[in-house]
Amino acid sequence: MLEMEEIMTLLAYALYLIISLGMTIWVARTLSTNGEVFLVQCFGHNEQLAKSTNHLLVVGFYLVNIGFITLTLSAGNEPQTWPDMIRFLSGKVGLAVIVLGGMHFFNMHAIARFGRKVSDWLVEGQAYRAAA
Q: How far is CA 36 from CA 6, 48, 81, 93, 104, in A?
A: 45, 11, 45, 27, 14
**CA-CA distance, 107 to 114, in Å (whole number)?**
10
**CB 118 within 8 Å of CB 49:** yes
Coil vs helix vs strand at 76: coil
Q: Which residues contact 59 (CB under 8 A, 6 or more apart)?
A: none
pLDDT of residue 43: 76
The pLDDT tens digits of the residues spanning 25-69 come to 998 999 889 888 888 887 778 888 889 989 998 998 899 999 999
